[in-house]
Amino acid sequence: MSNPSTFGERIKRLRLEHNLTQTELGILVGVTKQTLSNIENGKTKFTSQEILERFAFALCCTHDYLLGLSDEPTKLSNGLIQPISFEPQRKEKAALSSLIIKDSELVNLFIRCNNELNSKQIKLLKKIIEALLSEKDNSNE
């Protein structure tokens, strides 16, 4: 498979490899879904070093790779391998950020539960939520 050549193509390839939606990656990087779509399609150029660094961190690659100076995501243009920071819960954090925007009341309830319930009550709450989700799944069949 040939290596993507443009910044946008490389962003899209890595985003898909990491199973991130445009919305999720946008939240991690601090851009809107539309802006990310425009970047991936080559319609928008970015000029911010900070945004480049955020993309590199979120996608676990080097700046050189995103800029087309290296053909391997973890290698610098001089051929050296750069250790890449990896945030294992980045997808969950993006989903939580999205939930905060959509339904802050639900998020506040979860925070209250975490602050006010004991571990036994939290386990019970998890079982209730799992049962509700299971019931929803069964009703869709």
One CATH from 1.20.140.10, 1.10.260.40, 3.40.50.1970, 3.40.50.300 for 7-90: 1.10.260.40
**Comparing C-alpha atoms, which of 62, 23, 29, 59 is closest to residue 46?**
29
pLDDT confidence band for 1 (50 / 70 / 90): very low
Chain segment 37-79, per-residue pLDDT in tens: 999 999 988 768 888 888 988 888 888 889 888 888 877 666 6
pTM: 0.59
**Comparing C-alpha atoms, which of 15, 1, 11 is closest to residue 68?**
11
Chain segment 4-46, per-residue pLDDT in tens: 688 999 999 999 998 899 998 988 888 899 999 999 999 988 7
Domain with CATH 1.10.260.40 in the chain: 7-90
Task: Please tell me the predicted confidence (pLDDT) of residue 40.
Answer: 94
**Comparing C-alpha atoms, which of 34, 30, 73 is closest to residue 64?**
73
Count CB neighbours of 120 within 10 A.
8
As a residue count, the chain comes to 141
Residue 29: enclosing H or E segment and its boundaries? helix 22-29
The one-character DSSP state at 83 is P
pLDDT confidence band for 82 (50 / 70 / 90): low
